[in-house]
């Protein structure tokens, strides 16, 4: 049999060529990065809202149970039962009280005070009453529901109305006399045992650095293990490497941040947390030194130092020869969960077309395969898909970048399967973009390329504002001026 007569089923299958039009028609309709980021942000905000609601309901349930037992309750006990930070418990309690989701409680210092709701017949809150009726002997009977203190209730659980009864002969209610026993301090005739806390280290700092959404997140926790509040705690951050502060949560400093934070008072037994979101300027190792200073009970200054280091190295991209539309669609929708974005204002003198061609050139030069692109004329929007593989040791993982030019912005939206790979890849490409613009003479210094990130919430601005004008972030409403 001649080679040409070989049966069709024995021939090696060929990967069909996928044209650009067919690819764009079969892939899900592309969304602008602003819409895509809004969808991602809305999902995250919804998850945060649901988590907060679940935590609030857990607190309310604990309050319902505690109000039946205690007149006072330490906040530390509530935090321990719920395994929550004391500061977060206070924030949620304030929200619950202000919204009238639970009534009858007052925060007094370190305690919760339950204000019991009394009925009209105040019978001295005794559990048993002597009931004397005409022509009958005195009998001992339990008090009715309306004769005792009614515990706090939520808005969803009103106090039930007393049941209707038939007319009864006039009776005389005489409260029993009992000796008041404070169960908190006297149990079976024993005296309470008071244990003085042993203070090994009054303030214990801890630092953790993680890649989050294409940025570095530095998480600082200050635990007060002493029995007194700590005031005047000063924290200083020293960075060994090319990093820039994007935002801080809570915001203890503004744009003129000098690397120091004066912490608010830290109550005893509680933890203060601070999150710093940092943008690396290049793929190089970065060191973090956190210095904490405070005064002990004798007035002596105590210094604590915590160091962390993260090894950020340039990525190794490996180009893939072919990719089918099914594979490209599958890895976007199911496999790549890590997402990050770099958004910059288009420098003066650079047209949107040139800005997109620069992005395209950078990606193709760095072993990215061109998958497809789209131009929406009425929005003056350029959109392109690019694919490569990120090599880490002997393992290769998919890595996708969507380049976009829209609303006077040039953006790189990256997707990866690992947070560290995402951080390394998008940092490297952003550095390439700044270097290219300087080499072309578009900007004189890399600092002239403005990153469009809200310092309040971390969201990407929907447009590049005109210098001097106030612009509101569409996510949090913060007013920004460039």
Domain boundaries in the chain?
46-114, 203-310, 317-451
Whole-number pLDDT of residue 252: 77
Fold exhibited by the domain 46-114: Arc Repressor Mutant, subunit A (1.10.10)
Record: fold of 317-451: TATA-Binding Protein (3.30.310)
Q: For the domain with range 203-310, which CATH number is right: 2.40.160.40, 2.60.40.2430, 1.25.40.10, 3.40.640.10?
A: 2.60.40.2430
Write down the pLDDT at residue 40: 62
End-to-end CA distance of the chain: 76
Residue 43, pLDDT score: 67
d(CA 374, CA 29): 11
CA–CA separation, 295 and 273 (whole Å): 19
Bridge partners of 471, per DSSP, are 480
Q: What is the 3-state secondary structure (H, E, C) of the chain?
A: CCHHHCCHHHCCCCCCCCCHHHHHHHCCCCCCHHHHHHHHHHHHHHHHHHHHHHHHHHHHHHHHHHHCCCCEEEHHHHHHHHCCCHHHHHHHHHHHHHCCCECCEEEECCEEEECCECCCCCCCCCCEEEEECCCCCCEEEECCHHHCCECCCECCCCCCCCCCCCCCCCCEEEECCCCCCCCCCCECCECCCCCCCCCCCCEEEEEEEEEECCEEEEEEEEEECCCCCECCCEEEEEEECCEEEEEEECCCCCCCCCCEEECCCECCCCEEEEEEEEEECCCCCEEEEEEEEEECCCCCEEEEEEEEEECCCCCCEECCCCCCHHHHHHHHHHHCCEEEEEEEECCCCCCHHHHHHHHHHHHHHCCCEEEEEEEEHHHCEEEEEEEEEEEECCEEEEEEEEEEEECCEEEEEEEECCHHHHHHHHHHHHHHHHHHHHHHCCCCCHHHCCECECCCCCCECCCCCCCCCEEECCCCCCEEEC
pTM higher than 0.95: no
Please state, in angstroms and as integers, the Cα–Cα distance from residue 69 to each residue in 64, 121, 146, 177, 184, following that order.
Answer: 9, 22, 18, 22, 11
| pLDDT recorded at residue 359 | 93
pLDDT reported for residue 428 = 94
Question: For residue 266, what are its two tokens?
Answer: 């830290």
243-263 per-position pLDDT tens digit: 988 888 887 776 667 888 888
| pLDDT for the residue 39 | 64
CA 339 to chain centre: 16
b/e map of 180-203 (b: 16 or more CB within 10 Å)? eeeeeeeeeeeeeeeeeeeeeebb
Spatial distance between the Cα atoms of 420 and 161, rounded to a whole number of angstroms: 61
Which tens digits make up the pLDDT trace of 7-54? Answer: 444 444 444 444 444 444 444 445 555 565 556 656 666 677 777 788
Cα–Cα distance measured from residue 470 to residue 482, given in angstroms and rounded to the nearest whole number? 8
Query: Which residue ranges in the chain fall short of pLDDT 70?
Result: 1-46, 109, 116-201, 254-256, 321
C-alpha 300/C-alpha 319 separation (Å) is 60
Radius of gyration from C-alpha coordinates of the chain: 33
């Amino acid at each position: 049999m001649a080679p040409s007569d070989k049966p069709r089923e024995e021939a090696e299958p060929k990967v069909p060529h996928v044209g650009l039009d067919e690819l764009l028609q079969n892939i899900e309709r592309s969304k602008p990065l602003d819409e895509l980021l809004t969808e991602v942000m809305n999902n995250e905000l919804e998850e945060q809202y649901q988590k907060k609601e679940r935590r609030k309901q857990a607190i309310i349930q604990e309050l319902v149970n505690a109000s039946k037992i205690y007149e006072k309750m330490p906040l530390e006990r509530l935090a321990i039962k719920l395994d929550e930070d004391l500061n977060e418990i206070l924030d949620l309690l304030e929200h619950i009280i202000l919204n009238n989701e639970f009534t009858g409680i007052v925060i007094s210092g370190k305690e919760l005070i339950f204000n019991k709701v009394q009925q009209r017949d105040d019978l001295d809150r005794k559990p048993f009453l002597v009931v004397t009726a005409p022509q009958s002997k005195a009998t001992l009977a339990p008090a009715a529901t309306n004769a005792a203190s009614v515990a706090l209730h939520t808005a969803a659980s009103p106090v039930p109305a007393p049941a209707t009864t038939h007319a009864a002969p006039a009776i005389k209610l005489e409260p029993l006399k009992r000796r008041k026993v404070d169960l908190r301090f006297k149990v079976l005739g024993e005296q309470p045992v008071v244990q003085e806390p042993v203070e090994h280290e009054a303030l214990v700092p801890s630092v953790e650095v993680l890649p989050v959404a294409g940025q570095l997140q530095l998480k600082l926790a200050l635990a007060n293990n002493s029995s007194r509040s700590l005031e005047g705690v000063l924290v200083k951050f020293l960075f060994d490497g090319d990093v820039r502060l994007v935002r801080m949560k809570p915001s203890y400093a503004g744009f003129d941040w000098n690397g120091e934070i004066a912490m608010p008072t830290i109550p005893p037994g509680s933890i203060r947390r601070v999150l710093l979101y940092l943008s690396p300027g290049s793929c190089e190792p970065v060191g973090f030194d956190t210095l904490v200073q405070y005064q002990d009970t004798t007035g002596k200054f105590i210094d604590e130092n915590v160091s962390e280091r993260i090894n950020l190295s340039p990525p190794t991209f490996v180009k893939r020869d072919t990719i089918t539309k099914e594979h490209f669609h599958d890895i976007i929708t199911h496999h790549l969960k890590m997402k990050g974005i770099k958004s910059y204002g288009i420098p003066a003198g650079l047209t949107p077309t040139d800005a997109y061609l620069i992005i395209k050139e950078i990606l193709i030069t760095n072993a990215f395969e061109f998958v497809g692109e789209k131009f929406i004329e009425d929005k003056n929007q350029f959109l392109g898909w690019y694919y490569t593989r990120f090599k880490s040791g002997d393992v290769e993982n998919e890595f996708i970048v969507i380049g976009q030019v829209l609303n006077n912005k040039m953006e790189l939206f990256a997707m990866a399967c690992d947070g560290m790979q995402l951080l390394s890849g998008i940092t490297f490409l952003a550095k390439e973009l700044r270097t290219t613009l300087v080499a072309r003479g578009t900007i004189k210094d890399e600092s002239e390329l403005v990153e469009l990130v809200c310092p309040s919430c971390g969201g990407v601005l929907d447009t590049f504002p005109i210098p001097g004008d106030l612009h509101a972030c569409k996510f949090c409403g913060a007013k920004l001026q460039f």
